[in-house]
Amino acid sequence: MESPLILITGGGRGIGAAIAEAFAKRGGCRLALTARSADQLTATAHACEKHGVEARGYPCDVSDPEAVKAMAEAVRTAQGEPDTVINNAGYFLAKPFLKLSTEEFDTVLAANLRSAFLVSQSFTPAMAARKSGTIINIASSASRKIFPGMAAYSAAKYGLLGMTRVMRQELLMDGVRVLCVLPGPTLTNAWDDSGLDDATLRERLMPASDVAQAVVNAWELPAKTVVDEIWLQPLGGDI
């Protein structure tokens, strides 16, 4: 029997790459990774292959319907239907509400929310038909807490949490598990242009590997059990 195929969006770096490597270290799976950067996908895939798992990259803008359709066909042709889809792709923009442009607002929603909608719709029908599968949406503590200066990002992540809850209810009788992971401040490249230069504050950020381990732990539960939501926070609180 072929090992399960796990598709991870935003798999080139940050939390997505950490999730891919955590599954690779666990073993017993195959990986399909998507991101815009082919170079980053190649680097992540090579790191995963060192642990003895099959890992392939599929460059794709997952906010683009046609690009997602092409990516889905490429994955099916090369590796088959995914058993698990992890919607991790996103874009962080910190900007006050009154200074946001329409284009910036749309870009953030497309990267964080529409991408999960498009990718899930591409692969969920096959899961429902075989009565098994898992969808994991990576949201944020900004899905539940108010952070001034993050209007677009909060709107997208609140929306992702809401969509996840609806998906869970609609798909539970089809045997598809749907869960949401809500990480608080995590040390990734997203902070590079944030102005957070204080080494002490950066030390308080959660490692991406901790978020990845939580995802793997939730995924490993028996198929009849689902953790609806996991909210992760740094031990010292928000930054």
> Which structure tokens are listed for 8?
């991870």
Query: 220 pLDDT exceeds 90?
Result: yes
pLDDT of residue 192: 56
8-state DSSP, 113: I
**Euclidean distance between the first and the last CA atom of the chain, given in angstroms as a whole number:** 46
Query: 51 pLDDT exceeds 70?
Result: yes
Looking at the chain, the whole-number percentage of residues with pLDDT higher than 90 is: 80
pTM reported for the whole predicted model:
0.93
Q: Report how far residue 197's alpha carbon sits from residue 199's, in angstroms, rounded to the nearest whole number.
A: 6
DSSP codes joined into one string, 26-87? H-S-EEEEEES-HHHHHHHHHHHHTTT-EEEEEE--TTSHHHHHHHHHHHHHHT-S-SEEEE
Residue scoring higher pLDDT (147 or 171):
171
Hey, what amino acid is at 2? Answer: E
Once rounded to an integer, what is the mean pLDDT over residues 49-78? 98
pLDDT of residue 142: 86
Is there a catalytic annotation at residue 91? no
pLDDT of residue 193: 53
Strands 176-183 and 229-232 come out as parallel
Q: Burial level of 202, CB count in 10 A (0-12/13-18/19+)?
A: middle
Give the model confidence (pLDDT) of 66-119 as tens digits. 999 999 999 999 999 999 999 999 999 989 999 999 999 999 999 999 999 999
pLDDT of residue 201: 65
- Alpha helices by DSSP H, listed for the chain, are 14-26, 38-49, 65-78, 102-109, 115-130, 151-171, 199-204, 208-219
pLDDT of residue 113: 98
Hey, what amino acid is at 227? Answer: V
pLDDT band at 202 (very low <50, low <70, confident <90, very high): low
pLDDT band at 205 (very low <50, low <70, confident <90, very high): confident
Q: Report how far residue 159's alpha carbon sits from residue 75's, in angstroms, rounded to the nearest whole number.
A: 27
Query: 159 pLDDT exceeds 80?
Result: yes
User: Looking at domain 5-232, which CATH architecture does it have?
Assistant: 3-Layer(aba) Sandwich (3.40)
> Which structure tokens are listed for 43?
């680097």
The three-state secondary structure class of 239 is: coil
pLDDT of residue 114: 98
Query: 196 pLDDT exceeds 90?
Result: no
Query: 200 pLDDT exceeds 60?
Result: no
